[in-house]
Structure formats: structure tokens, C-alpha cells
Amino acid sequence: MIREITVILLIGFVAWAYQATCPPPPNVCGSPGGPAITAPRIKLRDGRHLAYKEHGVSKELAKYKIIFVHGFGSSRHDAAIAANLSPEVVDELGIYIVSFDRPGYGESDPDPKRTRKSLALDIEELADQLGLGSKFYVVGFSMGGQVVWSCLKYISHRLTGAALIAPVINYWWPGFPANLTKEAYYLQLPQDQWALRVAHYAPWLAYWWNTQKLFPPSAVVARRPEIFSAQDVQLMPKLAVRQINRAQVIQQGVHESLFRDMMIGFGTWEFDPMDLENPFPNGEGSVHLWQGDEDRLVPVILQRYISKKLPWIHYHEIPGSGHLIADADGMTEAIIKALLLGDKVTLS
């Protein structure tokens, strides 16, 4: 009898564990009972759809065409470089910007097979279907900055230039010295250290870990105030204006948006960004990396190391700035003019 009860309990535990670690299916936009489709979308090579939003002058009249890649827990509506550029600068320079929902976010279909390469190919296909021409710029913020690394690896031949704004670091990139990543890793809150360990070493537990109630969840997912710098807190009202559509961000489910981001961003990469070669050896384009020295989400010491390993990157470290660097007064214009015109940063 005891043996039979033990077997039943074991089976029950296994069934419970399996159910707890399996995320619910995504609530795909346009499916029966799913969220409505309100955005223009393109159909990709594998049948998925990618939602996008256009800003600035028309692409037919544009001199400069930029694809913006949003960050973690965000969407096509949160395009800081479009929101913060003055209409005068946009018209004077002839700037067209298109932002898009990365897979699983907003109204873009989830991609359970998402990889670092597939994200770059999504961007290339978006450019082709929108008729942006053979060359274009990419700008990525935060987790979107990681996607720019992938673009530099897989579609550099399509780029005129690139900018990474406070790009998120993967602490397991082999090019980092172990002592440096250890120092940077432990600058995070303990719950974020554990969330990243799970994403890297046990991605199949990502859904359970980030939804369970036994241990503190990721402070980044929870948007805890401790993760923001003093300047970030001051800039929060700007974000509030752009995030009126925040309910859309994870409307298809948290697993194929937030948690898939963590698994891809902090998993094992098939390339190390610090092994990349200059995509513009003849000076026909440029790559810029922007970082605030008070960023509590992305340790500045790791960005400094990358800039030394890749001397062809134009590294801009802004004193007193945090993670929301693009929202600081004058920063977006400086970022865009440096990328498009080669202007040096002159901030008052």
C-alpha cells in the first residue's frame, strides 16, 4: 500500500512539475478569441507576420532610412529616436524611421524558433518588403541593441550604419575576462542574477521561474525602482507618454515576449560580438555605441571593454546618464546626427 501511494504521489508530482514549467499557448493576434489586428503587417518567409509603424518623412522622399529595434518589454510604439527628434530636424535631414514589434510582442506573431540570426533576417525582410533599398541604418535600444550585434554579424552587407544605445550585455560572451564579468554580474540585484542563471543554464524553466511565488522574480520584469538611476527616474514621465499602448506589449502572452527575450539574449550565442570585424573598412559607414556611466541595468565597465576590443566602434560614454539615455535632453539628436552626418557630440 505504501509503495502504491508513493508511486501515485510521484506521478502526481511529475505531472504538476510538467504543467508548472509548460507555458500556456500564446494568444495570437487575429486568432479566434485573440487580440485584434490594428497595425500594418508584413508576411515573412515562414508565414509569420511582423507589425510595424512608420515615422518621419515618407520613405519615397527620405534621404536616410532607419529601422529602430525596441527594447525589453516594449513595442513599435516606443521608438525613442522618433519621439524625441524635432520635426524640424526630421524634415531638414529627410529622415524616415520604421519601428516594429519584435516576435511575440505587440501584434507580431510569436516565433518559438527565434534565434539571433532569425531576428536579423526579419529586419532584412522588413526592409525589402517596405522597399527601403539595398542599404539602410539600424538603431537598437537595450535588448534591441543585442539585435544590432546580430545585424552586424549576419546582414552587415545591407547596412549603411548602426547605433547601439545602452545595449544589453550577455555575461557569457567568451571574449570577456572572467574576473570582469564576475564583477559586473554581481552589480545586479540578487533576483536578477538568478533570473539570468535560469535563462542561460535552464531556459526550459524560464516560465516557471518568472511566474512562481516562492522566490523574488526578476526586478527588470517587475520594473522595480531600484534598477533605475536618478536620471532615469526623472525621465520616467517621457516614457509614460509613449507607453499609452503598454497593454498591447504582452497581450499575446509573457512567454513568447519577455521570457523568450531572456532565453535568446542570455543563452549561448553562436558568435561573440567581440570577434566581429569592421563592416565598414573603407569608412563608408560607421557603428556607434552609446552608454551612460550610471546605467544600473548594463554595467559600463563591460561596454568600456568592448570599445577597447573593437576600436572601430565609435564609443560615446555620457556622464551622469542611466539606461534611458536616449530620452535625456538633446541626446536623440546627438545620436542621430553622429550616425548620419558624423557630427561630434556637443551637449550643453
The one-letter code for the residue type at 56 is: G
pLDDT score, position 19: 52
Cell numbers 550610471: residue: 294
pLDDT score, position 253: 94
pLDDT score, position 236: 87
Q: Which 3 state secondary structure label does DSSP give 42? A: strand
Can you give the length of the chain in residues?
348
Residue 286, all three cell numbers:
560607421
Residue 279, all three cell numbers:
563592416
Taking 70 as the pLDDT cut, the residues of the chain under it are 1-21, 241-244, 343-348
Cell numbers 542599404: residue: 135
pLDDT score, position 16: 47
Run of H or E including 138: strand 136-141
pLDDT score, position 242: 65
pLDDT score, position 245: 75
Residue 49, all three cell numbers:
507576420
- Listing from the earlier edge strand, what are the strands of the sheet with 314-318? 41-43, 49-56, 95-100, 64-69, 136-141, 159-165, 286-292, 314-318
